């Protein structure tokens, strides 16, 4: 009976892969599921206002499920896996700059509803892995925008117009290499608005990086 209870407890409490349920590796993202992720070529995948934009993977299957779980449930272990996926991809470029990392912010109303900004969590893990500086309070969202996925490209641009601001007391040096990070790139409207704002304030060394692209 004791042995049965021990086996039952081990089965209940062992870490399982969120995607396939396997407990073989006792990880939230097992190597088999990670191996199925479609990693993109090592190159910028678009250019916004003269700034290179990179994405580590395609937004489908495992990555789609991972991002939704981190975004809506703040699964810390999967946020770590998301950050590691990004860091492993980013390291292959061998950039020498020590970037100042700006997670795309959420409006305070959405932060309150979701109990935080998921990209702040991913950003912290990402910066810990790469020894970068995270500035989660430098860029703020001052406009409570509608969800972007419901809008056309033109509606997205209008929706995000003047949606962001910079917090003066948190300004890094204008020569600092800036890396904007987000989970998904679709049309690039959000990144364009942020890049434009940074450029208007004198920042020129800017890149953007997302976990995935559609």
For CATH 3.40.50, the residue range(s) in the chain are: 37-213
pTM of the entire predicted model: 0.88
CB 98 within 8 A of CB 132: yes
pLDDT at 15: 87
CA–CA dist 54, 179 (Å, integer): 10
If you search the block for the tokens 């932060």, which residue do you land on? 111
Sequence-separated (6 or more) residues with CB below 8 Å from residue 12: none
- Average pLDDT (116-121) is 88
* Mean residue pLDDT across the chain: 87
Quote the CA–CA distance of 91 and 94 in Å, as a whole number: 6
DSSP strand pairing (133-134 vs 51-58) = unpaired
Q: Is the pLDDT of residue 89 over 70?
A: yes
Q: Above 80 in pLDDT, residue 193?
A: yes
| pLDDT at residue 28 tops 50 | yes
> What pLDDT, in 10s, does the model give residues 195-204?
999 999 999 9
DSSP count for the chain of H helices, then E strands: 8, 8
Say which residue the tokens 């949606």 belong to. Answer: 163
The dihedrals phi and psi of 79, each to the nearest 5 degrees, come to -65, -40
CA distances from 138 to 56, 100, 124, 164 (A): 24, 10, 14, 10
Question: Can you give the pLDDT at residue 7?
Answer: 47
Given this model, what pLDDT does residue 8 score?
Answer: 43
pLDDT at 23 over 80: yes
DSSP character at residue 39: B
What confidence score (pLDDT) does residue 106 get? 79
136-151: per-residue pLDDT in tens?
888 988 876 656 556 5
Q: How confident is the model at residue 109 (pLDDT cuts 50, 70, 90)?
A: low
pLDDT at site 173: 84
Give the pLDDT band (50/70/90) at residue 78: very high
Q: What's residue 174's pLDDT?
A: 87
CB distance 121 to 75 below 8 Å: no
Residue 159 is predicted with a pLDDT of 63
For residues 141-161, one letter each, b for 16 or more C-beta atoms within 10 angstroms of the residue's C-beta and e for the rest, the string is beeebeeeeebeeeebeebbe
Higher-confidence residue of 144 and 103: namely 103
- Residue 155 pLDDT more than 70? no
Q: Bridge partners of 100?
A: 133, 178
Average pLDDT over residues 24-30: 92
**Cα separation, 121 vs 105, whole angstroms:** 11
Considering only CA atoms, give the Rg of the chain. Answer: 19
- Statement: residue 154 has pLDDT above 80: no
User: What is the architecture of the domain spanning 37-213?
Assistant: 3-Layer(aba) Sandwich (3.40)
Q: What is the mean pLDDT of residues 157-178?
A: 79
Q: Are 118 and 153 in contact (CB under 8 A)?
A: no
pLDDT at 85 over 60: yes
pLDDT of residue 46: 96
């Amino acid at each position: 009976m004791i042995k049965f209870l021990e086996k039952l407890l081990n089965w209940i409490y062992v870490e399982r892969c969120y995607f396939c349920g396997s407990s073989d590796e006792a990880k939230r993202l097992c190597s088999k599921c990670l191996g199925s992720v479609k990693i993109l070529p090592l190159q910028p995948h678009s250019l916004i206002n003269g700034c290179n934009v990179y994405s580590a993977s395609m937004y489908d299957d495992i990555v789609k499920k991972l991002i939704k779980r981190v975004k809506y449930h703040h699964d810390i272990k999967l946020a770590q896996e998301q950050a590691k996926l990004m860091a492993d991809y980013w390291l292959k470029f061998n950039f020498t700059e020590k970037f100042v990392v700006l997670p795309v912010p959420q409006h305070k109303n959405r932060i309150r509803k979701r109990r935080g900004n998921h990209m702040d969590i991913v950003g912290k893990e990402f910066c810990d892995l790469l020894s970068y500086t995270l500035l989660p309070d430098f860029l703020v969202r001052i406009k409570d925008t509608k969800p972007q996925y419901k809008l056309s490209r033109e509606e997205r641009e209008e929706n995000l117009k003047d949606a962001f601001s910079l917090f003066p007391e948190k300004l890094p040096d204008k020569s600092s290499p800036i890396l904007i990070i987000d989970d998904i790139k679709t049309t690039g409207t959000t990144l364009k608005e942020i890049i434009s704002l940074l450029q208007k304030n004198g920042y020129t060394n800017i890149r953007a990086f997302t976990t995935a692209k559609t």
